[in-house]
Structure 1
Amino acid sequence: MAGDGTIGKACDVLEQVAAFARPVRFAELLESSDFPKATLYRFLQTLTNQGMLSYDPDRQTYAPGMRLVRLAHAAWTQSSLAPIARPFLDSLSRETGETVHLAQLDSSQVLYVDKRNAAQPIEMYSQAGKVGPAYCTGVGKAMMAFLEDEALNKAVSQQSYHRFTDKTLASEKALRADLDLIRGRGYAVDDEEHEPGIICIACPILTSGGRVLGAISITGSTERMNFDQLESWVPRVRRVAEQIGTEAQAWRFPETRTNAHNDRMQAT
Structure 2
Amino acid sequence: MASEDRIPTNLRTLLILEVLARADQPLTPTQINDSLGLPKQTVHRLCTTLEEEGFLTRSEDGKRMKPARRLLDMGAGLLQSGRDFYSRHQVLEQIARAVKEAVNYVVPQESGMHYLDRVDTDWPFRIQLPVGSNVPFHCTASGKTYMASLPPAARRAFVAALDLQPLTEKTHVSPNTLLDELAEIRKRGYAIDNEEFMDGMVALAVPVTDPQGRYVASLAFHGPAPRLTVEQAISQKDTLQDGALKLQGILFS
TM-score w.r.t. structure 2 length?
Answer: 0.65
Give the Cα–Cα distance (whole angstroms) in 1 for the partners of residues 250 and 158 of structure 2.
26
CA contact (8 A) 1:108 1:159 kept: no
Per the alignment, residue 168 of structure 2 pairs with 165
Match of 1:211 in 2: 214
1:24-39 superposed matches below 5 A: none
Please name the residue that 1:181 is paired with. Answer: 184
Aligned mates of 1:205, 1:141 — CA distance in 2: 13
Decide whether the 8 Å contact of 1:147 with 1:211 is kept in 2.
no
2:116 corresponds in structure 1 to: 113
Query: In the alignment, what sits opposite 2:45?
Result: none
Structure-2 separation of matches of 1:168 and 1:239: 29
The total of aligned residue pairs comes to 184
Aligned-partner Cα distance in 2 for 1:171–1:192: 17
Q: CA deviation at 1:216?
A: 0.7
Q: Distance in 1 between matches of 2:77 and 2:53?
A: 24
Letter matched to residue 199 of structure 1 = V
Give the root-mean-square deviation of aligned CA atoms. Answer: 2.7
Q: Report the residue type matching 1:156 in the other structure.
A: V
Matched, 1:137 2:140: yes
CA drift of 1:79 comes to: 3.8
**Displacement of 1:155:** 2.7
Aligned to 1:243: 246
Residues of 2 paired with 1:5 and 1:164: CA distance?
A: 35
SS of structure 1 residue aligned to 2:233: helix
Deviations 1:159-203 (A, max 9, x none): 210000000011211110110111121100000000000001110
> What's the counterpart of residue 107 of structure 2?
104
Aligned to 1:192: 195
Provide the rounded CA distance (Å) in 2 between the counterparts of 1:133 and 1:106: 10
* Cα separation, partners in 2 of 1:80 and 1:134, compared to 1, 3 Å: farther
One-letter code of the match for 2:78? Q
Structure 2, unpaired ranges of 5+:
1-49, 55-72
Deviation per residue, 1:63-116 (Å, 9 max, x gap): xxxxxxxxx8x7654144871521110111122221111101112721111111
Q: Counterpart of 1:145 in 2: which secondary structure?
A: helix
Identity %: 25
Q: CA deviation at 1:247?
A: 2.1
Distance 1:199 1:209, change over 3 A: same
